[in-house]
Amino acid sequence: MEFFVPVEKSICRNEEDLYDLQVFVGAELPLRPSIADQLRVGFFSADHATQTDSSEILEIKEVTNLMHVLGKSFNCLKRDFLIYKNSIKGDYEEKIQEQVSNLYTHINETAQNLEAGHRKKMAIIRQSFRQQLADAIAVIKKQYELKTPTPSIASTSSEPVPSTSG
């Protein structure tokens, strides 16, 4: 398998085509040190030279140290973010629990008020029916007393009174 493309067989024949290809693939081509940019054999990153100039070694060490510092800073920020996220999550859950508790209390109070109102209405209805029953019993009793004679009144009214005059 051949990784290097000879210049005669390359797709891009001039610098303009090479520039267009680099713009098209620009996001995929990472930045390279200056020596690697000076030597080009093909169009892909594997085709570039990878030698490092002695003046670039200090820059590479500085960049490496900077990357370590940035990595540590990133880890600290990540940890702080997780702490902040958990704090916000805890506050949010606490507020939700408070809202649930308030809603539960409100629903229970409403249910108790409805039950008390229902009991009060039932007591009023029962008292009303008892009064109606007592009134109906009194009316029936009165009608019964009027239609049936009492024994003391019946004996005096049905028998003729004997006269003493003779």
Q: Which of 11-20, 42-51, 78-87 has the highest mean pLDDT?
A: 78-87
CA gap 145, 154 in Å, rounded: 12
pLDDT of residue 2: 42
Please say whether the beta carbons of 134 and 126 come within 8 A.
Answer: no
CA gap 40, 12 in Å, rounded: 13
Domains in the chain: boundaries: 1-51
CA gap 85, 159 in Å, rounded: 109
Average pLDDT for residues 141-166, to the nearest whole number?
A: 65
Measured in whole angstroms, the distance separating CA 44 from the mean position of its chain's CA atoms is: 50
> Quick one: DSSP state of residue 41?
S
Please say whether the beta carbons of 49 and 39 come within 8 A.
Answer: yes
pLDDT of residue 64: 87
CB neighbourhood size of 48 (10 A): 19
Least confident of 54-63, 74-83, 142-151: 54-63
The tokens describing 44, both together, are 């892909």
Structure confidence by residue, pLDDT tens digits, 125-144:
999 999 999 999 999 999 99
The tokens describing 157, both together, are 């009214």
CA gap 67, 129 in Å, rounded: 90
Structure confidence by residue, pLDDT tens digits, 7-33:
444 555 566 666 666 666 554 545 555
End-to-end Cα distance, the chain: 165
